[in-house]
Structure 1
Amino acid sequence: MSTVAGMSDKTWFGQPRGLTILFLTNMWELFSYYGMRTLLVYYMTKQLLFAQEKASFIYGTYTAMAYFTPIIGGAIADRWLGKRNAVILGGTIMAFGHFVMAFEPMFYVALATIALGNGLFLPSLPSQINDLYAADDPRRGRAYNVYYVGLNIGGFLAPLVCGTLGELYGWHYGFGAAGIGMFLGLMIYVFGRKYLPPEPSRLAVPAAELTGARATPSYTVWWLLLGVGIAATIFRGAYEQVGNTLPLLIDTGVDRVVAGFTLPMTWFQSLNPLLVISMTPLLLLHWRRRADAGHDTSPALKMAIGALIVAAAYVLLAALSAWAGDARIGWGWVVLFFVVLTLGELYILPTGLGLFAKLAPPRLGATTVASWFLAVFSGSLLAGLVGTLWSKTSHAGFFLLLAGLAIVAAILLWRLDRPIRSLH
């Protein structure tokens, strides 16, 4: 514990220096992921000439597999490789996969390679955050929101760089830029390792440790996490349309002309991470003031509120689609949609990741965090299936369906709030 405390004394921006290394690494990984994701549906429908239903299903399957492999990768990291080695090996495999995307005949091979590398990389990076703090450090609860801001810088830059290169100069230039981003993230991690927490032992956990701090039987924790994961799955079925069917609406159903200049469709994908960066400090200030006044909101209830806010965003989009009819929606309304959607996202997604890390059994940090990504896997797969309905129903009806999914998730999270609070 003294090592952790000593590391915490050396700070950047009031947080342990290792947090900066971790979010810069994930920032560039997100740059590569979102850069490729921004182009993926357009590339399949415009270059490979896939039908919309096929493109949506491939998109959903790929994003699902990218978040399924961390279940296996987290276990490998905890038991054999260690978190640091898993990050380096996984990042190297992902960088290779992104570069392979530049070659059209290797399309499916590239998607599989990125998904495999992501399995080692993704759970092993954020699971190191908890190790930077002492158990009673009050900064630990907010660290995941700070981390979320850092990595969303990559999500903001990706559509502007990769999207612009792909849309204006050629899809393969955009995919190549994504590969460069992944390589930069890997280099930051390698050269910043001295600021990271020491690698925990991967030996068997002593019985005394298992019966120590958390007296609640582990199966109760896993059942509650399963419930949160099911709610997150349903929520993701709606949320993940941001990268699936929403780009199709922006392409054909949104007036993108501003002062005679037509905004590239991929630029709209930068709105969400830009809003994450700008809104998070204000939201953290609001939450801290509530906590200081004794009105702190529990994690599950906070997630339920976020799901309802996202539902409201899709209701707005449904109303706009019904009102516009065959006309195009003004770009300003799309910006407003992203503002509401992002506010809800900030309530639910980083909170869910932090909740899984907080409830992790001893020395199963990467495995438990990987369980959160299992919900992302199943939610992405659901989003791919839901996305196939885009061309079979009206836009207003489709967005109301998404709002309904988010409301169901909110109700489930609300019901889980009391049993989760009883663990503390």
Structure 2
Amino acid sequence: MINSATTPDARTAGAVLHAAPGKLRQPAGLKVIFFAEMWERFSYYGMRALLVLYLVNAMGYNRGDALALYGMYTGLVYFTPMIGGAIADKYLGNRRAAVIGGSVMMLGHFAMAFPALMHLALGLLIVGNGLFKPNTTTMVGELYEGENDPRRAGGYSIFYMGINLGAFLAPLVAGSLGEKLGWHFGFGAAGVGMGLGLIQMLWGQKTLGRAGLKPHQEALGLRDAGLVLSWSAACVALVFGVIKVWAVVGPWYGALQGTAQVALAVSVLVAVLWAIARPAKDSELPPMTGQDWGRVLGVVIVMVFVIAFWTGFEQAGGTMSLFADQQTEREMFGITIPTTWFQSINPLTIVLLAPVFAMIWTRLDQSRFAISDVGKQALGMIVLGLGFLVMTQAQSIADANGKVGAQWLALVYVIHTVGELMLSPVGLSMVSRIAPARLAALLMGVWFLSSAAANYLAGTLEHMLEGTGIPLYPFLAGLSIGAGTLLFVLTPLLNRLMGLRRPV
């Protein structure tokens, strides 16, 4: 999940404070993307809140298999934006890609209402998200006049508010429907949310101006319905074909040793990166410079560190969801709190604490104690590790007594949210600001690779640690704190590499 109101960039924050009031009004198109993203995140987090519980309690999956499928699904959800961003950069443009992606995701959510279509549905959600997610995020940046527009930080803060509003409502609405009335009601609600997001984007696209359009394109109209339908049908065919191929290739791949599996996966990833990074023949964008490559390298290095953060944070939908379901006392005032409601603590805390962080960052950034984007992300990792120290204690009490009070899990979610407020919006703003024009959407998609790898690890880490004698939550505490400390040490070097001004 992403911060809703933190001002991520100190230079921009300072510019906002000194700009003329009339120039601080946000672009009208921001409202359109705000609500489109809100409904899309409602659909995603509604699905995320229900998936593991649905697999264990309704589909008969054991804990390990459910977490593995969760990790595979959420990992691929954050892998495909790299491809979707490249397709938008080269061919479709951000706006068309987002509409196509949203349409495919809507089909996926509705398909989840039918158990026999579960794998097809997950595949559609993965592919659709790849076309939607990086392109709406990139479109926000295109609403502003250059990377130093003083409204940019505030605009991203409002954009994040939409993300967290959708994420807050999803467990309460889709989660409650799924747990109380039937799983498929919850999945259906997620599909309705995605449909509303599409309507919002198409209805209000006049306010977007040229944001998300390539130079030769015009706003989407009825004449583009065929394009959207054909691409959506192609995505359905692609997912169906991959499922059939994997039925043959999957057993062979699973029989390989771990090193061979990793080598093959890395080879495929490198081939995909090489294919999508090649510029289109009719590209009108300027060539890459040495400074551009420095920025790309810096982003990739930070991305590797951020994997440690998301590996821990994404336990929220996996092991921590099962902890809430099986080892947390959920009876309050004679009412049983639905398990999925715990996942609304994070976005609610963001909404409450974001203004506080905005004030802190603004004042700190104008003082001699200012911290760069990279330094803030390092601190966020350390804070996440502190949350897992609390989770370690909660697990110990639960193992001894059977269950723990709900306040333990709530406290962990709050601490993790503080870490997120320091890391997630800062990283997205950093990438959108420094990414070379040629690779704007692609690099945003590459940034999401950290979440792809981390989500997969989040689902499989418990199994990987079996037999080592290392408990999950203490391991995550050490991983997060260690990675954050090392990143903070490397901050001055990374700032120079990316052309950022502050040493720390």
**Same fold, judged at TM 0.5 (above):** yes
Matched, 1:174 2:186: yes
Matched, 1:242 2:254: no
Structure number with larger C-alpha Rg = 2
Separation of aligned partners in 1, 2:42 and 2:488? 33
Q: Are the counterparts in 1 of residues 24 and 150 from structure 2 also a CA contact under 8 Å?
A: no
Matched, 1:165 2:177: yes
Q: What's the counterpart of residue 430 of structure 2?
A: 355
Secondary structure of 2:402's counterpart equals coil
Matched, 1:93 2:104: yes
Separation of aligned partners in 2, 1:358 and 1:54? 40
Secondary structure of 1:217's counterpart equals helix
Query: Which of 336, 341, 345 is 2:420 aligned to?
Result: 345
Q: What's the counterpart of residue 81 of structure 2?
A: 70
Q: Are the counterparts in 2 of residues 227 and 416 from structure 1 also a CA contact under 8 Å?
A: no
Change (3 A) 1:92 1:378: same
- Please, what is the CA RMSD of the aligned residues? 2.3
Structure 1: which 5+ residue stretches go unaligned? Answer: 1-7
Q: Are the counterparts in 1 of residues 46 and 190 from structure 2 also a CA contact under 8 Å?
A: yes
Change (3 A) 1:12 1:406: farther
Q: What's the counterpart of residue 385 of structure 1?
A: 460
Matched, 1:106 2:181: no
Matched, 1:401 2:486: no
Q: Are the counterparts in 2 of residues 306 and 345 from structure 1 also a CA contact under 8 Å?
A: yes
Query: Which of 195, 204, 222 is 2:283 aligned to?
Result: 204
Query: Which of 43, 53, 62 is 1:32 aligned to?
Result: 43
Q: Deviations 1:67-89 (Å, cap 9, x if unpaired)?
A: 11111111110010001100111
Query: Which of 396, 412, 429 is 1:322 aligned to?
Result: 396
Q: 1:293 Cα shift?
A: 3.4
Change (3 A) 1:367 1:50: same
Separation of aligned partners in 2, 1:239 and 1:182? 24
Change (3 A) 1:367 1:10: farther
Structure 2: which 5+ residue stretches go unaligned? Answer: 1-18, 217-281
Change (3 A) 1:319 1:121: same
Query: Which of 184, 191, 214 is 2:196 aligned to?
Result: 184
Deviates more, 1:38-47 or 1:189-198: 189-198
Q: Kindly provide the amino acid, as one letter, of the partner of residue 258 in structure 1.
A: M
Q: Kindly provide the amino acid, as one letter, of the partner of residue 201 in structure 1.
A: P
Separation of aligned partners in 2, 1:312 and 1:345? 13
Q: What's the counterpart of residue 251 of structure 2?
A: none
Q: Are the counterparts in 1 of residues 285 and 438 from structure 2 also a CA contact under 8 Å?
A: no
Change (3 A) 1:408 1:167: same
Q: Are the counterparts in 2 of residues 205 and 362 from structure 1 also a CA contact under 8 Å?
A: no
Count of aligned pairs between the two proteins: 411
Q: Are the counterparts in 2 of residues 60 and 380 from structure 1 also a CA contact under 8 Å?
A: yes
Q: Are the counterparts in 1 of residues 296 and 435 from structure 2 also a CA contact under 8 Å?
A: no
Separation of aligned partners in 2, 1:41 and 1:12? 47
**Identity, % of aligned positions:** 37
Separation of aligned partners in 2, 1:261 and 1:43? 22
Secondary structure of 2:471's counterpart equals helix
Q: Kindly provide the amino acid, as one letter, of the partner of residue 144 in structure 2.
A: Y
Separation of aligned partners in 1, 2:406 and 2:455? 26
Q: 1:292 Cα shift?
A: 3.3
TM-score between the two structures when normalised by the length of structure 1:
0.91
Query: Which of 377, 389, 392 is 1:303 aligned to?
Result: 377
Q: Are the counterparts in 2 of residues 233 and 378 from structure 1 also a CA contact under 8 Å?
A: yes
TM-score between the two structures when normalised by the length of structure 2:
0.77
Change (3 A) 1:55 1:9: farther
Deviates more, 1:274-283 or 1:104-113: 274-283
Q: Kindly provide the amino acid, as one letter, of the partner of residue 193 in structure 1.
A: Q
